[in-house]
């Protein structure tokens, strides 16, 4: 994001532009032609990443760098990028189901494990959607989602020994893993932005710990109920 903003500012002729982007904040200052210097601070709430809007903004920066757009056209394209709709809940649920089944097979599961992982992915999608509507913390959401996933897989394995609960659980949990936060955290640290990178890595670590805690609680409950 920081590099993209710098490219766009340089393409529009903004002088003395400085920007610092954190996980939940943007600090920017610039000196516009024939105007006084301006400084802006924007709070970025914790929301899921919209890759469609990210791609639209990246395409906008490339066209600006190539000199294909002016200020007015760039503003119109930016408004259009903001209006890119999010994926509907049904499609997100379907992606979670298919992804869980696919990851279960990818990590050594069998065809018998895929439907179990798919149902576990459905449980995760429903839990995440319900908790998100009520503004519940992401870490608690992941704990409950991993707990439900583990209980379901352990219960099915108790009834159908042919099912490998471990493969089904791993496949379903891959949907919850913080891959973007981990990747961007490592990238920021490699680029010398240690503060932003540390924040992203800490976020990824907390989410991973929440998922692990949910799995542990699920196995403890499953053993207590005699299904594991």
Residue among 147, 167, 151 nearest 159 (CA): 151
Indicate if 122 and 199 belong to the same structural domain: yes
Last residue of a domain, one of 82, 107, 142: 82
The owner of tokens 């610039």 is 30
Give Cα separations from 35 to 14, 30, 158 (angstroms).
11, 10, 72
Mark whether 184 and 124 lie in a shared domain.
yes
- Are 115 and 186 contained in the same domain? yes
| 67 plus 129 within the same structural domain | no
Among 49-63, 171-185, 193-207, the range scoring the smallest mean pLDDT is 49-63
* Residues 142 and 171 placed together within one structural domain of the fold: yes
pLDDT of res. 47: 60
How large is the angle between the packed helices 179-190 and 194-224, nearest 10 degrees?
Answer: 150
Q: How far apart are the first and last CA of the chain?
A: 46
- Quick check: 141 pLDDT over 80? yes
Most confident range, picked from 76-85, 164-173, 178-187 = 164-173
Tell me, yes or no, whether 200 and 117 share the same domain: yes
Report which DSSP code applies to 177: S
**Does one domain contain both 215 and 128?**
yes
Tokens 């379907």 map to which residue? 94
Mean pLDDT of the 213-220 span = 92
Domain count, the chain: 2
Host domain of residue 28: 2-82
Q: Of 49, 65, 82, which residue is a domain's last? A: 82
- pLDDT for residue 187: 83
Domain co-membership, 73 together with 186: no
108 shares its domain with 72: no
Say what the pTM is: 0.77
Strand-pair partners of 25: 22, 43
What pLDDT sits at residue 156? 92
Rounded Cα–Cα distance for residues 30 and 197 (Å): 25
Tens of pLDDT, residue by residue over 7-44, are 788 777 777 888 888 777 888 888 776 777 788 888 87
Do 31 and 77 belong to one domain?
Answer: yes
Q: What is the mean pLDDT of residues 91-102?
A: 91
Residues 76 and 94 in one domain: no
On whether the CB atoms of residues 171 and 107 are closer than 8 A, the answer is: yes
| pLDDT band (50, 70, 90) for residue 144 | very high
- Which of 82, 105, 131 finishes a domain? 82
Q: Do residues 116 and 180 both lie within one domain?
A: yes
């Amino acid at each position: 994001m920081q590099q993209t903003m710098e490219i766009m500012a340089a393409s529009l002729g903004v002088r003395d532009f400085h920007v610092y982007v954190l996980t939940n904040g943007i600090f920017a200052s610039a000196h516009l032609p024939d105007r006084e210097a301006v400084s802006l601070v924007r709070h970025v709430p914790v929301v899921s990443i919209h890759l469609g809007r990210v791609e639209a903004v990246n395409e906008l920066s490339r066209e600006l760098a190539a000199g294909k757009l002016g200020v007015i056209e760039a503003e119109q394209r930016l408004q259009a990028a903001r209006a890119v709709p999010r994926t509907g809940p049904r499609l997100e649920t379907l992606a979670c189901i298919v992804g869980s089944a696919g990851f279960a097979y990818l990590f050594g599961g069998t065809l018998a494990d895929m439907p179990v992982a798919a149902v576990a992915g459905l449980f995760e999608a429903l839990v995440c959607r319900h908790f998100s509507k009520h503004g519940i913390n992401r870490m608690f959401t992941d704990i409950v989602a991993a707990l439900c996933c583990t209980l379901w897989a352990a219960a099915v394995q108790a009834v159908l020994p042919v099912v490998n609960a471990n493969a089904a659980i791993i496949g379903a949990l891959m949907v919850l893993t913080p891959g973007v936060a981990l990747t961007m955290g490592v990238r920021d640290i490699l680029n010398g932005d240690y503060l932003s990178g540390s924040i992203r890595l800490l976020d990824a670590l907390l989410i991973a710990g929440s998922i692990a805690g949910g799995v542990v609680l699920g196995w403890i409950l499953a053993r207590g109920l005699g299904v594991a």
